[in-house]
Amino acid sequence: MFEIINFKIFLFSALLFFIGYALAPTVYYKEINWLVKYPMWIVNWLDSFAKKNWKPVFLFGFLFALNTLSLMIDLLSAIVPVLPFIFAIWTGLNIGIVTYHTLEGHYYFTALFNPVAFFELPAAFITFAMAFQYNLSNLGITSISKVTWQDISFQRYLFLFLVIVLPILLMAGIIETYLIHISRDMGDGTDKDA
């Protein structure tokens, strides 16, 4: 199953993501409005949801659905020539802007070393690798790998998304929900002692 995903293309998807992530502080600092507008809208939207005291099961459902929808759009970008490559950089940029804003610039690159990112980032890179492969095959570029993915249908990539990416996102959602729940409990304990 994993042999369908070309490792070089997987690494290339990670590289494009990190290019976007590395550009994010500059874009945020220089306030390039057309690039900052969407991730800041996401920040405000997530802040409004964070103020709600959701039960863990609803919080998990929301996080899982948001991540799944986001990566599904990334996979569907494979249908449009060159779009997955732009989306990979744009995803890194958006996550970077949200991270930079949230952490106020502190620990920006080390923020990627957290239990949730260890699941979410590989899920994104796998999704982009599949989108790249399908996109390249539609453009007639299939000589990059010994694997001949030109014969792999988009339905096969959708199946791989369901059996590989969704379980990874499931684990990420469980961990993220747990960490949010723990941090809220710690915050509530602090408020009670004050």
- pLDDT for 192 equals 46
Q: Mean pLDDT for the chain?
A: 87
Number of compact structural domains in the chain: 1
- CA angle, 87 then 138 then 83, to 5°: 15
- pLDDT for 21 equals 97
Residue 156 lies in a domain: yes
**Which three-class secondary structure state does DSSP give residue 147?**
coil
| Number of alpha carbons in the 13 Å side-chain half-sphere of residue 96 | 23
Residue 103 lies in a domain: yes
- pLDDT for 46 equals 76
| Number of alpha carbons in the 13 Å side-chain half-sphere of residue 43 | 17
Domain that holds residue 79: 2-50+62-185
180 confidence band (pLDDT: 50, 70, 90) = confident
* pTM (predicted TM-score): 0.87
Check whether 191 has a pLDDT greater than 50: no
